[in-house]
């Protein structure tokens, strides 16, 4: 791939060179994307204190390359304002506060006899934070690019993904419709209360089958199209290959931060909920992780080996990475208790330990069960005392306030 953006850092100054001199450094789509990636690296590098932007050749920059717009002579004139909206306004309207920190769990590491770090993706900076923001950064950019004015998505009644979709849509000016399963805690508690505060249009489907939920989403989308709107549909968890790329970015961030802190991470442990976060971490570890293992702790009985492998391969294709995995390559621990969204005794033990030893709050649906799974792996010797483990905190704290103690099993 041709490098239209060159960069170098010296004494805290990053010099960015626009490198398309044959076109007076005018921008095409690839150049925009390369500049966005370069700026993202600058944002995340504490050593960069100044940016210097220059151009190769005899001119600095001639602006947008209008020849790059693929104008159809028989069609309507191109909307040149699209380039302003799509690129020259903030290239990606930053939804997430990145990078999120990596911290050592000093007290729990001492108690369990293993070095354990935590990646604080509960601090992604919108709503109550959480992993879904990284996926939504890509998916909602795609929605805006396609001119969508509505985003439809789904999940359980206490879905973190659905809540964060509503929050992110508010920020970028798109209306959100949340089509949620009827199961789960009802009433003004947890994420349902937050959805109300966000002004989200919440619609319940009285079914436990996502086939029924997706049929309802399609019906609503058809109604919107008939009324002249442009809906954009996001599946449960945002777990499609494009959303998965957000967690490939996270993996790259993890290994860069670990290098800065002189940490060699042997294993990442994460929740497996809809598969996208885990898939991104798996692919990212293969690309950047120098032999790091990734273990997903399942929160339900879905076939995560197959789901995750498919998402890894789809994201690899988007990124042009020469990677292919099979379901047998995906490491899944099933440690979810009575079922999805049903708090477990082991999960609440993990939540209590984290709160009382580290002052951090996990949730009963995802991170509590995932950390309980990590503790199980340590206690059974499947994670050795010489391993350095990183646990991904994916957020979801609001669901803690929707727990009924009598449901704990």
% helix / strand / coil in the chain, to the nearest 5?
A: 45, 20, 35
pLDDT at 59 over 80: no
Q: Does residue 384 share a domain with residue 332? A: yes
pLDDT of 94 strictly over 50 = no
Rounded Cα distance between 388 and 395, Å, is 22
Is the per-residue pLDDT at 81 higher than 90?
A: no
At 129 the pLDDT is: 94
Does the structure show a pLDDT above 80 at 263?
A: yes
> Does residue 305 lie within any of the structural domains?
yes
Q: Is 394 a catalytic residue?
A: no
- What contacts 403, CB < 8 A, 6 or more positions away? 185, 343, 364
The pLDDT value recorded for residue 66 is 61
Establish whether the linkage from the previous residue to 370 is cis, with ω within 30° of 0. no
pLDDT at 184: 61
Contacts of residue 380, defined as CB under 8 A and 6 or more positions apart, other chains included, come to: none
User: pLDDT-based confidence at 89, cuts 50/70/90?
Assistant: very low
pLDDT tens-digit readout, 101-151: 999 999 999 999 999 999 999 999 999 999 999 999 999 989 988 999 999
Domain tally, the chain: 3
What CATH number should be reported for the domain holding residue 198?
Answer: 3.40.50.1100
Mean pLDDT of 53-73: 71
- Which of the residues 7, 26, 159, 239 is marked catalytic? 159
What pLDDT sits at residue 98? Answer: 80
* pLDDT class of 305 with cuts at 50, 70, 90: very high
Say what the pLDDT of residue 225 is: 98
| Domain identity same for 393 and 306 | yes
User: In percent, how much of the chain has pLDDT > 70?
Assistant: 90
CA distance 12 to 52: 11
> Is 94 within 8 Å of 358 (Cβ atoms)?
no
Whether 44 has a pLDDT exceeding 90, the answer reads: no
Stretch 95-99: mean pLDDT, rounded?
75
The neighbour count for residue 26, using CB atoms within 10 Å, is 18
C-beta separation of 230 from 204 below 8 A: no
- Which residues does residue 117 pair with via DSSP β-bridges, in sequence order? 104, 390
Q: pTM value?
A: 0.79
**pLDDT at residue 379, as a whole number:** 96
Domain residue limits at 262:
102-130+240-407
Residues 282 and 402 in one domain: yes
With respect to residue 97, please indicate whether it lies within any of the assigned structural domains: no
**Nearest CA to 80 among 91, 67, 99, 96?**
67
Give the pLDDT band of residue 342 (cuts 50, 70, 90).
confident
Pairwise CA distance, residues 153 & 155, whole Å: 7
Q: Which of 69-73, 140-144, 241-245, 250-254 has the lowest mean pLDDT?
A: 69-73
297/333 same-domain check = yes
Q: What pLDDT is attached to residue 315?
A: 94
pLDDT of residue 78: 53
Please report the pLDDT score of residue 34 as a whole number.
Answer: 86
Residues 151, 202 within the same domain = yes
Q: In whole angstroms, what is the distance from residue 29 CA to residue 14 CA?
A: 22
What is the number of residues in the chain?
409
Task: Identify the domain boundary among 88, 114, 146.
Answer: 88
- For residue range 200-220, list pLDDT tens digits in order: 999 999 998 999 999 999 999
Q: Residues 379, 281: one domain?
A: yes
Return the structure tokens found at 274.
């809809």
* In the predicted structure, residue 371 carries a pLDDT above the cut 70: yes
Residue bearing the bigger pLDDT, 71 or 156: 156
CATH assignment at residue 47: 3.90.226.10
Query: Do the domain assignments include residue 94?
Result: no
Residue 92, pLDDT > 70, answer no
Look at residue 387 in the predicted model and tell me its pLDDT. 94
pLDDT score for 208: 87
Residues 309 and 403 in one domain: yes
Which CA distances in Å does 190 have to 182, 232, 271, 336, 364?
Answer: 15, 26, 20, 21, 12
Mean pLDDT across the chain, nearest whole number?
89
User: Given pLDDT bands bounded at 50, 70 and 90, which one contains residue 88?
Assistant: very low
């Amino acid at each position: 791939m041709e490098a239209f953006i060159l960069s170098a850092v010296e004494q805290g100054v990053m010099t960015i060179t626009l490198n398309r001199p044959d076109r007076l450094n005018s921008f095409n789509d690839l150049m925009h994307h390369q500049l966005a990636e370069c700026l993202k690296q600058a944002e995340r590098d504490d050593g960069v204190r100044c940016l210097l932007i220059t151009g190769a050749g005899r001119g600095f920059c001639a602006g947008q390359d209008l020849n790059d717009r693929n104008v159809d002579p028989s069609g309507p004139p191109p909307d040149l304002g699209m380039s302003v909206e799509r690129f020259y306004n903030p290239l990606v309207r930053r939804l997430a506060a990145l990078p999120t920190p990596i911290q050592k769990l000093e007290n729990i590491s001492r108690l369990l006899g293993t070095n354990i770090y935590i990646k604080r993706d509960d601090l992604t900076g919108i709503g109550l934070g959480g992993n879904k923001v990284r996926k939504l950064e890509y998916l909602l950019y795609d929605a805006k690019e396609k001119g969508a004015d509505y985003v439809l998505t789904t999940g359980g009644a206490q879905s973190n993904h659905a809540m964060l979709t509503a929050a992110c849509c508010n920020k970028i000016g798109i209306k959100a419709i949340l089509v949620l399963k009827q199961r789960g805690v009802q009433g003004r508690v947890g994420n349902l209360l937050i959805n109300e505060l966000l002004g989200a249009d919440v619609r319940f489907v009285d079914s436990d089958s996502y086939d029924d939920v997706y049929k309802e989403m399609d019906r609503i989308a058809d109604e919107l199209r008939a009324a002249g709107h442009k809906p954009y549909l996001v599946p449960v968890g945002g777990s499609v290959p494009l959303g998965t790329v957000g967690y490939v970015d996270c993996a790259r961030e993890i290994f860069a931060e670990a290098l800065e802190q002189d940490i060699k991470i042997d294993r990442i442990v994460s929740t497996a909920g809809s598969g996208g976060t885990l898939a991104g971490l798996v692919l990212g570890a293969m690309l950047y992780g120098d032999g790091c293992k990734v273990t997903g702790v399942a929160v339900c009985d879905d076939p995560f080996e197959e789901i995750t492998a498919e998402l890894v391969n789809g994201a690899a294709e988007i990124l042009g990475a020469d990677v292919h995995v099979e379901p047998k390559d995906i490491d899944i621990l099933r440690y979810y208790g009575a079922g999805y969204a049903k708090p477990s005794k082991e999960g609440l033990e993990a939540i209590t330990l984290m709160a009382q030893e580290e002052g951090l709050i996990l949730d009963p649906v995802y991170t509590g069960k995932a950390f309980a799974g990590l503790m199980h792996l340590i206690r059974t010797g499947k994670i050795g005392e010489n391993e350095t483990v990183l646990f991904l905190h994916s957020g979801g704290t609001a669901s803690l306030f929707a727990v009924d103690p009598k449901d704990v099993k």
